[in-house]
Structure 1
């Protein structure tokens, strides 16, 4: 992997059933949402509804596992939902899923269809590699509040993704910071699919393959590399 992702021993101990699959992508073509990306989001919502078959998203075994893990590091999962559950909840409303930009639409569609948290970071905005750690509480998380830049700090013990400059995503995969998010100018990205037991690893691989194929379809000529799944018991 050209880009480094590491998972701390403390996070491995907290969630021994954690697995992540990374996709590196270079030469991407991003832009505003399109009719095609919008259609993918609508189809993802239909796939989700069929998968849940009348259940609420949090009743899915994979989402229940994420709720247990959030509780384990001191977060309240009914207030700060993992990204897949939050998207799924929106997908089932009349308003439906938000349209952000082409690349975000693609990974949100895969996230909702498979009920797997998926995130994307602009590699040109990430400083150094990314690490999944339990926060000290002193790290900076640069966000926007009231239309202005603001600095927050995670709770001590909270699981966060961070780079050399600070936190890039709070509460594991709850809220991404604007510094590294995918914008319409993004040309290089790292996409991360995160799963917990009891979801089989092969389902994470299938979701990653689907996302990689979509990236290739919407960014012809891009260099896409899907990395092998990394579990909590495997060095990252």
Structure 2
């Protein structure tokens, strides 16, 4: 299997930096202390000003506006998390892996998606949709991405995310029986070339420590756009 971004995506978003991590052996685990540590980093940063002023968030807002989306209606995943965390002071606990990824996303203000590899067919390509793909919401409804909308699309035409980093599908959401995961982090801001590798390294370190596994990772670019991982 593999993850890759289409040439159109790299051409239209030359500042894109993407990190990918694959790990197996995910089981129940305690991540509370690790989650709190990353949340504290986010809280300290938010104390100086709201997430709307973060360069990481501003870059995604510009990208969404360029795609014809209203940035305050369709927020990237990290902005939505930061906004909720700023208002409520905590994030809901869902699954140890999701909780950890959400906390890391908060700390770095970078969208992080975690997908159940068993629910992905063949490959995953980040590309403009044709409009015929199928997207499963968390409530069980089925949608079709708009033509031209950037989505995470597999070989069976399943859209695993809509509006790029805005909303993940319920189809490949991590659940109790998830054992193999693909984690994707993407950023567009000026220091993304430094921040995404740092985030990716942090995830690898945390996964290895919590689940005693040996994650594989890569930083993707226009010249090296593909990350291969076992089914």
The TM-score normalised by the length of structure 2 is 0.91
Counterpart Cα distance in 2 of 1:215 and 1:174: 24
Counterpart Cα distance in 1 of 2:85 and 2:138: 25
2:94 to 95, 100, 109: 100
Counterpart Cα distance in 1 of 2:22 and 2:16: 20
Q: CA deviation at 1:233?
A: 5.2
> What are the residue-to-residue correspondences of 1:60-79 with 2, within 5 Å?
60-79=54-73
Does structure 1 residue 174 correspond to structure 2 residue 166? Answer: yes
Counterpart Cα distance in 2 of 1:179 and 1:30: 20
Q: CA deviation at 1:223?
A: 2.7
My pick for the range that moved more, 103-112 or 22-31, is 22-31
1:113 to 107, 111, 125: 107
1:108-167 per-position Cα deviation (integer Å, ceiling 9, x unaligned): 11111111111111111111110001112221112244xxx2210111221111112310
Gaps of 5+ in 2: 227-231
Match of 1:231 in 2: 221
Q: CA deviation at 1:234?
A: 4.1
Counterpart Cα distance in 1 of 2:11 and 2:43: 34
Match of 1:150 in 2: 141
Q: CA deviation at 1:42?
A: 3.2
**RMSD over aligned Cα, in angstroms?**
1.7
Q: CA deviation at 1:231?
A: 2.3
Change (3 A) 1:95 1:60: closer
Match of 2:195 in 1: 203
SS of the residue 2:137 aligns to? strand
Match of 1:22 in 2: 20
2:43 to 43, 46, 49: 49
Q: CA deviation at 1:39?
A: 3.6
Match of 1:190 in 2: 182
The TM-score normalised by the length of structure 1 is 0.89
How many residue pairs end up in the alignment?
225
8 A contact 2:122–2:154 mirrored in 1: yes
